[in-house]
Structure 1
């Protein structure tokens, strides 16, 4: 895809993400009713689906001949028609949009101001544009062919060089990690706590990746992420000069992720052991 087309898609992503800002700010700390999806650790509110509907409408108006892969609404053509599952590669050669209307729903529902809107565009097997929008701070992180930006300021993903200086943002271990790995997960988490200068569990994979892209944190790590959680953030990190590693082999598959600022010594970190990285993943 040429650069002008990617820039246009980045503009549409920003328009779509910002279209729900007012609604989310107004609903914040209203303690909305919460339902659950997979289990009680996976909440959803009326605002998740309503925000996704608004975002889908914006994309349909701006880019009707495309496919939208949303956390709440699944895979559908922007014009409302059915679409095949969109994992890796094109769907009928169309642009694919990966939409998470509220990444960090548990935080949003409880009144913790760490959540965001994530919108990314992909062509073939490549994410070509992405926006992570923090409506509470009015911060818009945008990635496209020209780099990664916060507002009009170019982002540079730079920070700590080693674990003992670094801030790690992680969701590991989740309840699912504990169910699968048992006590071993707690041991791995302990390894991270003792190795890194600081470890935080703020929620919202997309916003964690945006903070790594900005150099506000040094490393982000999680397991079991969906494409809509990480598509935009992965491009932000890479365009800012950081490193993004999809632990499932592709950003378009459900799997883990690891991202770090440029210049971080991954080979000397505790993360390869905890994340069970292959040598090729460590060396890039």
Structure 2
């Protein structure tokens, strides 16, 4: 085994252990009905003490082992931290993706964490502890659900596609109009529409083959970083909704089981261009 593989194993083993610890914390706290929370951009864009505790657990644990690593964490950024991806090993963290679900004890929330090295995703983990779903991927090693390899579906036509889409956490008129218009356009031409309330879990469903495509405007890099590598390692594609290459800080994403399906979906969408993160 070469040194790079040994290092990658250490990164993966360390983050997997910490993610499972974070999952235990989430499972303990989701049982509390009246969770303390704060409003961020709107009364449906929330942060809880558990979000903050999980992010601290992950960052502190990784820093103990890898003192030179960098971090982009949702709660760190919302408190004024920098959104900057360099060539240094960088962990991108959403401590609880699906916070609104978590607040309501709806069991579709997850830890989403990815490692980028030289601005390329190397590791991705999406863990929904309530449903015991642990999705993972490492560059060149495939994608897995609970250690069983997974693969995207073979769907290529919109008429056969189960599509994931979200209302998002904004009530800006332009954003809502785009959501309504896309729902109106897509509902008659796809097999069905679904929403889990979590970008990371929507992407995990595409990787699993349970859904065939997903798009969203207004997400952030921490929502999609782990999902990107998991989908790619499962044989799928992740692009910009306009049809070009993914721009990770553009707050836009489209993923699908195939390039053909991705392009067909892109051509149907009313586009929205939120203010980018960087």
Give your verdict on TM over 0.5. Answer: yes
1:16 matched to which residue of 2?
A: 18
1:37 matched to which residue of 2?
A: 40
SS in 2 for 1:48: helix
Does the CA contact (< 8 Å) of 2:186 and 2:268 recur in 1?
no
The one of 235, 239, 247 equivalent to 1:245 is 239
Does the CA contact (< 8 Å) of 1:159 and 1:261 recur in 2?
yes
Deviations 1:115-166 (A, max 9, x none): 1001100112211111111111222111102111122211111242211111
What are structure 2's unaligned runs of at least 5 residues? 273-278
Deviations 1:95-129 (A, max 9, x none): 11001110000001101111100110011221111
Judged with a 3 Å threshold, the aligned counterparts in structure 2 of structure 1 residues 100 and 153 are, in CA distance, closer, same or farther, namely same
1:196 matched to which residue of 2?
A: 190
Does the CA contact (< 8 Å) of 2:195 and 2:202 recur in 1?
no
SS in 2 for 1:265: helix
2:275 matched to which residue of 1?
A: none
The question of 1:135 aligning with 2:135 is answered no
Return the alpha-carbon distance in structure 2 between the equivalents of residues 188 and 250 of structure 1.
20
Return the alpha-carbon distance in structure 2 between the equivalents of residues 144 and 211 of structure 1.
18
Judged with a 3 Å threshold, the aligned counterparts in structure 2 of structure 1 residues 63 and 116 are, in CA distance, closer, same or farther, namely same
Does the CA contact (< 8 Å) of 1:157 and 1:242 recur in 2?
yes
Mean alpha-carbon deviation: is it higher for 121-130 or for 178-187? 178-187
1:89 matched to which residue of 2?
A: 86
Return the alpha-carbon distance in structure 2 between the equivalents of residues 137 and 184 of structure 1.
32
Return the alpha-carbon distance in structure 2 between the equivalents of residues 159 and 115 of structure 1.
27
1:107-186 alignment runs, 5 A limit: 107-145=101-139, 146-172=141-167, 175-176=170-171, 179-180=173-174, 183=177, 185-186=179-180
Instruction: State the TM-score, normalizing by the size of structure 1.
Output: 0.84
Deviations 1:163-198 (A, max 9, x none): 11111111146645x522564542222011112111
1:217-256 alignment runs, 5 A limit: 217-247=211-241, 250=246, 252-256=248-252
TM-align CA RMSD = 2.6
Does the CA contact (< 8 Å) of 1:160 and 1:264 recur in 2?
no
Judged with a 3 Å threshold, the aligned counterparts in structure 2 of structure 1 residues 195 and 173 are, in CA distance, closer, same or farther, namely farther
Judged with a 3 Å threshold, the aligned counterparts in structure 2 of structure 1 residues 117 and 265 are, in CA distance, closer, same or farther, namely same
Report how many aligned residue pairs link the two structures.
Answer: 266
Return the alpha-carbon distance in structure 1 between the equivalents of residues 6 and 247 of structure 2.
23
Q: Which runs of 4+ in 1 moved over 6 A?
A: none
What are structure 1's unaligned runs of at least 5 residues? 77-81, 278-284
Return the alpha-carbon distance in structure 2 between the equivalents of residues 108 and 239 of structure 1.
28
Does the CA contact (< 8 Å) of 2:237 and 2:258 recur in 1?
yes
Deviations 1:67-86 (A, max 9, x none): 1111112399xxxxx9x834
Return the alpha-carbon distance in structure 2 between the equivalents of residues 184 and 95 of structure 1.
36
Instruction: State the TM-score, normalizing by the size of structure 2.
Output: 0.86
Shift of residue 87 of structure 1? 3.0
Return the alpha-carbon distance in structure 2 between the equivalents of residues 51 and 194 of structure 1.
41
Shift of residue 265 of structure 1? 2.8
